C-alpha cells in the first residue's frame, strides 16, 4: 500500500518536472522571439526583426536594411573586438617610441669616430672601457663595426670621448 503511494507520488513529481520543463522551454522560446522583435535600428530607431551590422567612420552600428546603405557591411567574424583593441593598443604604444628614435640615428662611421677620438685622447681600448664601465671586448667590437651600441652606450661614448655619434634626422 505504502509502496504504491510512493510510486504514484514519484510519478506525479516526474510529470510535474516534465511540465515545468516544457513551460520553461516555451518561455525561453518566447523570450528569444521577443529579443528579435526588440531589435532597434541605431540610425532611424525603427524596430525591426533583424538588424545588420555596418561600419561608419570606424563606428559599428546595428541598423535596419534601409539604413545599412549608409555604411560598409561588417563581417562579425573578421576581426573580434579584442583583436581590434589589441592592435590599437600596440599602435598607440609604438608611436611615441618610434618618434624618439627617428630624431637621432647612429652615424654610419661610428667605428672610425670612436677609434680616432680614443686615439686622439691617448687612450687604450681598456682605458675607454673602464671609463664607461664596459668590457674591452665591447669597445673592440664597436671599433670594428661588429657591434652596434644601443642608445645608452652611445651616450656614454659621446660623453667620454667628447664626440657626436648621432645625426639628427
41 binds Zn ion (CB under 5 A): yes
CB of 43 or CB of 106, closer to Zn ion: 43
User: Residue 43 or 153: which CB sits closer to Zn ion?
Assistant: 43
Query: Rounded to an integer, what distance in angstroms lies between the CA atom of residue 161 and that of residue 131?
Result: 10
The reply to whether 67 sits near Zn ion by the rule CB under 5 A is yes
Q: Which of 9, 15, 38, 44 binds Zn ion (CB under 5 A)?
A: 44
Of the ranges 2-10, 19-27, 33-41, 136-144, which one interacts with Zn ion (CB under 5 A)? 33-41
Closest CA to 118 of 140, 86, 147, 95: 140
Which secondary-structure segment (H or E) carries 54? strand 52-56
The piece of 7-15, 60-68, 104-112, 128-136 that touches Zn ion (CB under 5 A) is 60-68
**Least gap, CB of 65 to Zn ion (angstroms):** 8
Q: Does an H or E element contain 104, and which?
A: strand 104-106
54 is a contact residue toward Zn ion (CB under 5 A): no
Q: Is 62 helix (H, G, I), strand (E, B) or coil?
A: strand
Query: Does 43 help bind Zn ion (rule: CB under 5 A)?
Result: yes
The minimum distance between CB 45 and Zn ion, in angstroms, equals: 7
- In the complex, what is the shortest distance from the CB of residue 32 to Zn ion, in angstroms, rounded to a whole number? 22
Which residues are near Zn ion by CB under 5 A? 41, 43-44, 46, 63-64, 67
Amino acid at each position: 500500500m505504502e509502496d504504491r503511494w510512493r510510486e504514484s507520488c514519484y510519478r506525479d513529481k516526474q510529470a510535474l518536472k516534465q511540465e515545468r520543463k516544457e513551460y520553461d522551454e516555451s518561455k525561453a522560446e518566447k523570450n528569444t522571439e521577443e529579443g528579435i522583435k526588440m531589435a532597434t535600428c541605431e540610425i532611424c530607431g525603427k524596430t525591426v526583426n533583424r538588424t545588420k551590422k555596418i561600419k561608419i567612420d570606424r563606428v559599428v552600428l546595428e541598423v535596419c536594411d534601409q539604413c545599412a546603405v549608409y555604411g560598409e557591411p561588417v563581417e562579425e567574424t573578421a576581426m573580434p573586438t579584442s583583436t581590434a583593441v589589441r592592435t590599437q593598443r600596440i599602435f598607440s604604444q609604438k608611436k611615441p617610441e618610434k618618434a624618439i628614435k627617428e630624431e637621432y640615428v647612429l652615424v654610419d662611421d661610428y667605428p672610425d669616430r670612436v677609434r680616432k677620438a680614443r686615439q686622439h685622447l691617448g687612450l687604450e681600448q681598456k682605458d675607454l672601457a673602464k671609463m664607461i664601465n664596459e668590457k674591452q671586448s665591447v669597445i673592440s667590437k664597436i671599433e670594428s663595426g661588429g657591434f652596434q651600441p644601443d642608445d645608452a652606450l652611445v651616450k656614454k661614448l659621446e660623453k667620454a670621448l667628447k664626440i657626436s655619434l648621432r645625426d639628427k634626422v
